[in-house]
Copies of this chain bind each other. A is one copy, B any other.
Amino acid sequence: MIGFEHLKKISHTSPSKIVFLVIDGVGGLPRPETGKTELESARKPNLDQIAKESICGLIDPVSPGITPGSAPGHLAIFGYDPVKYTVGRGIIAALGIDLELNPEDIAARGNFCTIDNRGIITDRRAGRISTEINTELCQLLNEKITVNGAEILVTPVKEHRFVLILRGEGLSPQLTDSDPQQVGLAPKKVDALSPSAQRTAEIANEFVSRVKSLLQDKAPANMVLLRGFSQHPDIPSMPDIYKLKPAAIAIYPMYRGLAKLVGMQLLPAGDNITDQLKSLHQHYSDYDFFFIHFKATDSRGEDGDFEAKVHAIEEVDAALPNLLNLNPDVLIVTGDHSTPATLAMHSWHPVPFMLRSNWCRFDSVTEFSERACLSGGLGRFAAVEIMPLAMANALKLDKFGA
């Protein structure tokens, strides 16, 4: 891909609209009983009709063999090299619960855990305490713990998980984890990875030491483990690179967070794909790029529930007429990675992709599936190439070079 510095120069604003439907984890694997993947098993007349009018292919979100997390998966399809632009674990956790972050905040992912009387970890998840107990404990920490040099914000996530924010001036995320990632060891001291992080390391260690005193009688949640200290990454925004006015219609906080990270406006998304498409209609004239995120395909894939994933695909398909009636200049349908139900996890398999526009030079693919897209006109390609293709098909890119 040519660099952002070149894309900035050749991108221009125009009235044409790009709609980007991301069916999370849509790629799959054949079920042994039928030899068909989730997409091949679903009844999906609308997706297949789009395939007939599209140029199709298969995307590699990162590169062959690499299974992407949600952050690299989405950054790649938004045009960001997912190896160059990374989002730390702490920031991901904060985005995942819709925390408002300042650019200088340091975020860490936290676990409540259990230590024995010698200080050795016996359970990294504190017996998976309830979210209610977690919430009470976080409130306690927020009330009782103050540390010189930084404001401390502890926000509960589910069960034993929380997010720690250190807020203050001149803090650095160049820190090691306190979480040794196994039982039988003591929590580690947080170390500075650069001299400028020394003070922040002291603050983190001071926090942990106060927590230890405060929770000593709260077993099984009598200690915390911290990892993934990170700061909001410095990512060039989509409006800056592409001169787009982009908006996101995503229900889950993680995807809203990723969208915000790249400069999208967040629009109301309601509770399901039908609500999302209503919102698309309401705001269609105000933006020129829309990211619509559909989650259930990934969730059911991770559950290992093949049938339920098939139904989720059918649910998207059934909602599509209320997208197709807008007839966007460029319509893209793909996923951020594959989540085969037979594997019950994100996977490295390339993801079916289709792009429909008046200028897409459509191919002979007649179905939206892994096998069919293999013979598509785009072949197999890197997900970071999607955005230049979308922009070109929307006639928003000037010629490169004289």
Contact = CB atoms under 8 A, between A and B. Distances in A.
Interface of A: 1-3, 6, 10, 29-30, 62-72, 82-83, 86-89, 92-93, 228, 340, 342-343, 345-349, 359, 361, 363-364, 370-371, 374-375, 377-381, 385, 387-393, 397-402
Nearest to A95: B402
A149 to B, nearest CB: 28
Contacts of A359: 29, 340, 342-343, 347
Contacts of A66: 2, 10, 388, 392, 397, 400
A242 to B, nearest CB: 11
B402 A92 contact: yes
A361 B68 contact: no
Contact of A65 (B3, B363, B391): B391
A87 to B, nearest CB: 7
A29 to B, nearest CB: 6
A361 B29 contact: yes
Contacts of A68: 399-401
Most buried by B among A371, A390, A398, A401: A401
B401 A69 contact: yes
Given A361-B30, A361-B370, A402 B70 contact: yes
A65 B388 contact: yes
Instruction: In the A-B complex, list the 4 residue pairs whose CB atoms are closest, starting with the nearest.
Output: A65-B388, A72-B401, A69-B401, A65-B392
A136 B70 CA distance: 65
B401 A63 contact: no
A235 to B, nearest CB: 14
Given A83-B2, A359-B343, A65 B380 contact: no
Contacts of A377: 374
B402 A87 contact: yes
Given A71-B402, A82-B401, A64 B385 contact: yes
A197 to B, nearest CB: 20
A68 B6 CA distance: 12
A342 B360 CA distance: 12
Name the residue in A66, A375, A381 with the highest tally of chain B Cβ atoms < 10 Å from its Cβ: A66
Contacts of A401: 68-69, 71-72, 82, 86-87
Contacts of A381: 64, 380
B392 A6 contact: no
A387 B65 CA distance: 8
Contacts of A69: 399-402
Given A30-B361, A361-B30, A378 B2 contact: no
27 contacts: A2-B62, A2-B63, A3-B83, A29-B361, A64-B378, A64-B381, A65-B387, A65-B388, A65-B390, A66-B400, A67-B397, A67-B398, A67-B399, A68-B399, A69-B399, A69-B402, A82-B401, A86-B401, A87-B401, A92-B402, A228-B402, A349-B361, A363-B371, A363-B374, A374-B377, A379-B380, A380-B381
Nearest to A86: B401
A191 B29 CA distance: 60
A196 to B, nearest CB: 22
A6 B399 contact: no
A378 to B, nearest CB: 7
A402 B89 contact: yes
